[in-house]
Amino acid sequence: METGLHWARYYGARQMYLLQELYLRRTFYQLVNIICDPLLEQQVRKQSLCQLHKPQLALQRFYRQQQGMHKYRALSQEARVLCHEFNPY
């Protein structure tokens, strides 16, 4: 996860916004997929759920700068539904 956020910052500093969005979304969806995987241990799923806010806040900041808040709202809603459905708690 930290590597994905690092690369997103790297590309953002160089104004390569498509690559920045790619790494942010990829990191976000990797965590969501871990949370939704019932075959993984519950502790790993809980830890992923606790770490989900990092890429989510970075995506919110990114979309606010790019005037794309509708994309963030859809992404956030999808994550909310999936995390509620597969809640490891």
Q: Do the Cβ atoms of 25 and 1 come closer than 8 Å?
A: no
CB atoms within 10 A of CB 79: 20
pTM: 0.89
67-80 pLDDT tens trace: 889 999 999 999 99
8-29 pLDDT tens trace: 999 999 999 999 999 999 999 9
Q: Which two structure tokens, joined as six digits, stand for 13?
A: 């500093």
CA-based nearest residue to 23, from 55, 50, 47:
55
Q: What is the pLDDT of residue 86?
A: 82
Q: Is the pLDDT assigned to residue 87 strictly greater than 80? A: no
